[in-house]
Amino acid sequence: MFKYIIYYIFILQFFSFEVFSQQLTYYGELTQGGLIRGKVEADAEIFLDEKSVKVSKDGFFVFGFGRDHPSNSILIIKYKNGSIQKKLLKIRSRDWGIQRINNLPSKMVKPSKESLEIIKQNNKEILEARSIESNETWFLQEFFWPVKGVVTGIYGTRRVLNGKQMQPHYGIDIAAPKGTEVRAPANGRVSLAKTDHYYTGGTIILDHGHGLSSAYLHLNKLNVSFGDDILKGQIIGFVGSTGRSTGDHLDWRINWFKSRIDPQLLVKNKM
């Protein structure tokens, strides 16, 4: 516990934070795609928009806001002594650009009926991995870039593929040569390791605790297996262009359960 307290004090100097009282502290960005990490009295209960937020035995917690999160959220804290705090969180909205990608194989824009069954199974596996709510508090660590390269796609942009409007992009695309090492930006546990997903190809998902997960897509090769405990900085895979991809790159994503988080908001420094 002592090392977490020291780390918690250290990390506050890099993020905006607010103290509601002596009982609750949080840091992060109240914005669409933002992630909040904090500490509350042990045995307290937290609810975000009526959804229960897991609190560790030492009082640490994490929650986030998706790309299209509304402008307000209600945070409620129920303490062991019976007192209740209620806080209105004002969530900053963001403007989203458009990214156009052409010359994709038609099957990657309009899959066949057989491919749709494969995609359905892939999505089920991903959802299961992102639904894990372990007791780990690795999410408290300071995240770093998993690979060095050129950012070619950013979080939140509306995507037009071969002229057809698709879902927004929920990750950060980092172009790098094939075979470039991809490293874990924080401690985690491998909750998914697949080489053949239809859209994402070589795919790894790491569980960082309390519903926070990170994903690494289009990998050429995986260096980990399901269930492995991973240390920050460990090589987990290698850059590739598998799945729906137009060139060698890493698509890095962060989720708090189903909420899509902007990875760039977790790294305090430039690449």
- Report whether 208 contacts 130 (CB < 8 A): no
Say yes or no: 210 and 105 in one domain: yes
The predicted-structure confidence for 45-97, as pLDDT tens digits, reads as follows: 999 999 999 999 999 999 999 999 999 999 999 999 999 999 999 999 999 99
The predicted-structure confidence for 187-220, as pLDDT tens digits, reads as follows: 999 999 999 999 999 999 999 999 999 999 999 9
pLDDT for res 154: 95
Say yes or no: 183 and 214 in one domain: yes
CA 24, 137, 147, 168 dihedral sign is negative
List the Cα angle 256/265/224 in 5-degree steps: 60
How many domains are contained in the chain?
2
Confidence of residue 248 (pLDDT cuts 50, 70, 90): very high
Say yes or no: 19 and 110 in one domain: no
Confidence of residue 41 (pLDDT cuts 50, 70, 90): very high
Residue 108: is its pLDDT beyond 90? no
Q: Which of 67, 90, 113 is the last residue of a domain?
A: 90
Q: Is residue 106 part of a domain?
A: yes
Higher pLDDT, 132 or 13: 132
Compute the mean pLDDT over every residue in the chain, rounded to the nearest whole number.
91
Say yes or no: 55 and 185 in one domain: no
- Domain range for 11 is 2-90
In this structure, what CATH number is given to the domain that contains residue 217?
2.70.70.10
